[in-house]
Chains A and B, each alone.
Chain A
Amino acid sequence: MTDDAAFAVLPELTDANRHFWQGGHDGRLVLQRCGGCGLWLHPPVPICPQDRSKNLVHEAVSGRGTVASFTVNHHQWLPGFDPPYVVALVELVEQKELRLTTNVVNCPVDAVEIGQPVRVVFRHIPDPNGDIWLPLFEPDEDAGGES
């Protein structure tokens, strides 16, 4: 899809999102979770909407999920994003409707399907403002059953 040198768009790191964008340094996909009721929260919030707790922690998920929807993009919207590439909504196994917008990689673009099991793979982007590990997903052949 792109090589690191040409990469054009990166998240602006803040205290509220650093866990997510740099968790991949240790190979972990880290999301916010309520320390009170255990609800996973994405994007991060300052107060849990379920129990109004401010005890919010950062915790790694398994990195496994399924493709909730996807589109094969054929248009060059941004420099460095050479089509075709797959934009997907991946629902993580930890919680219903806990989704990330991401890319499905390491397979042909026409091999992606709704319901397909996928697992996280990180793309490391060195950057003077702080390195970024983009959580992308690839087909998870080890996942049993579905597909």
Chain B
Amino acid sequence: MPVAKAENLAERHCAITGIGQSDVGRRLGRDPLELTLDACYAAIADAGLEPSDIDGLSTYPGPMAQPKGFTGASATSVIDAMRLDVDWYDSGIETSGQLGSVMKACMAVAAGLCAHVVCFRSVWEGSAQGQGGRASLGPGGGGGGGRMYVGDFQQWTLPFGSAGAPVWIALYAQAHMHRYGVTTEQLAQIALNGRRNAARNDKAIYRDPMSLDDYLASRMITTPLRLFDCDVPCDGATAVVVSRREMAADLAQPPVLVEAMGAAMHDRPSWDQPHDLTRTVGADAGTQMWGRTALTPADVGVAEIYDGFSYLTLLWLEALQLCPPGESGAFIEGGTRIALDGPLPLNTAGGQLSAGRLHGYGFLHEACLQLRGQGAERQVNPWPEVAVVATGGGPTCGCLLLTSAR
């Protein structure tokens, strides 16, 4: 796809002018709509706007009964609870990962439909799953010789005990490790780096130090993924306000400019039928994103990259061209390169592995804080001018390149 002139790129008309986040906890036991509204009102106030200024709303994924706690609030429930009058709104899971909702907001703003869009992601998986944790996620549940019948994609996976994302992603991970020789000790650096950074984030779920031995001692879930390679379900909501860029200068915060977005998917939208098991469609999104900017991977000062499962971060490092294909293991070896004081600080708030499964928007929130220089004790030094945010995995991936307005 030929790239349009810069002034015709939707994202160049947009800025993130406000960010907000609710309380975050393992199991808060609070109304998920309340958490969602806390985040949305906080983002609007952070921008220096009033709810009456908001004329658009976007969220991922919208209403879903399953999995439990996956959706804290729908678009219409928030619009109604805030008594918003919107000129555009949208939700949906069939988009380029969690950031697809932000990209759609940018497109709506650029199309002239609206000027200030509140975008949010809200989860309450911690409370919804209860004390049974993820083990209670199985759609069977009944046991005792009961039968359950599944259709669509599930029919090709569930009858074989391929019961969800950890198993599907382990299949990618194993193929990638086999081809490129990534080691367990290299993979561990994603979890160890996240935990180190989480110590500087008072909202993080897990803040106690983790050693390599702790990591290696955590129980195997499905090879090569251990418990500490899987993010921690939590309750919490995160929101941002996407505004028309020319209106950003008058608002309360230094604007974060949307430089480029990546939404492409040049493969089958399937977890088990991609052409190449050692990559994700994030590589297509990454190529598209870099094709829409004069900036290059060398310009990135901080990377906030999805770690719903640790191996996804490795695949994203390659997809975003932050390292050559197949070299993500060597790239993170020892952890110094991705540390807070390293050349490419990664997941500076702890990522989902340690700070909680805020499902993509936590990375976006942290990237904005870093670009605004508001990272406090975890602020990257020197203050980064360019951040990359990438969320999702497998066939559902999207990425954004953000810059500070300095």
Contact = CB atoms under 8 A, between A and B. Distances in A.
Given A74-B222, A75-B135, A78-B140, A69 B150 contact: no
B139 interface: yes
Interface stretch (B155-163, B320-328, B362-370): B155-163
A121 to B, nearest CB: 13
Interface stretch (A54-62, A80-88, A138-146): A80-88
B273 A69 contact: no
B174 interface: yes
B171 A70 contact: yes
A77 B164 contact: yes
Interface in A1-54: 1, 5-12, 14, 17, 42-43
Contact of B160 (A12, A99, A134): A134
Given A68-B175, A78-B163, A79-B138, A99 B147 contact: no
A89 B156 CA distance: 11
A106 to B, nearest CB: 15
Interface residues of A, number: 43
Q: Which of A42, A71, A88, A103 has the most CB of B within 10 A?
A: A71
A127 B147 contact: yes
B140 A79 contact: yes
Contacts, number: 138
B382 interface: no
Contact of A71 (B137, B148, B150, B223): B223
A25 B190 CA distance: 47
B171 A80 contact: no
A79 B144 contact: yes
A104 to B, nearest CB: 10
Contacts of B148: 8-10
B219 A74 contact: yes
Nearest to B230: A75
B141 to A, nearest CB: 7
A11 B221 CA distance: 25
A147 interface: no
Contacts of B160: 87, 101-103, 134, 136
B5 interface: no
B159 A79 contact: no
A1 B175 contact: no
Contacts of A9: 139-140, 147-150, 158-159
B143 interface: yes
Q: Which of A42, A43, A129 has the most CB of B within 10 A?
A: A43
A70 B143 CA distance: 26
A10 B150 contact: yes
Contacts of A100: 156
A29 B274 CA distance: 22
Interface of B: 135, 137-151, 153, 155-164, 166-167, 170-175, 178, 219-225, 272-273, 275, 277
Interface of A: 1, 5-12, 14, 17, 42-43, 68-81, 85, 87-89, 97, 99-103, 114, 127, 129, 132, 134, 136
12 contacts: A6-B145, A8-B143, A9-B139, A11-B149, A70-B174, A73-B161, A73-B223, A74-B223, A79-B143, A85-B161, A97-B273, A99-B273
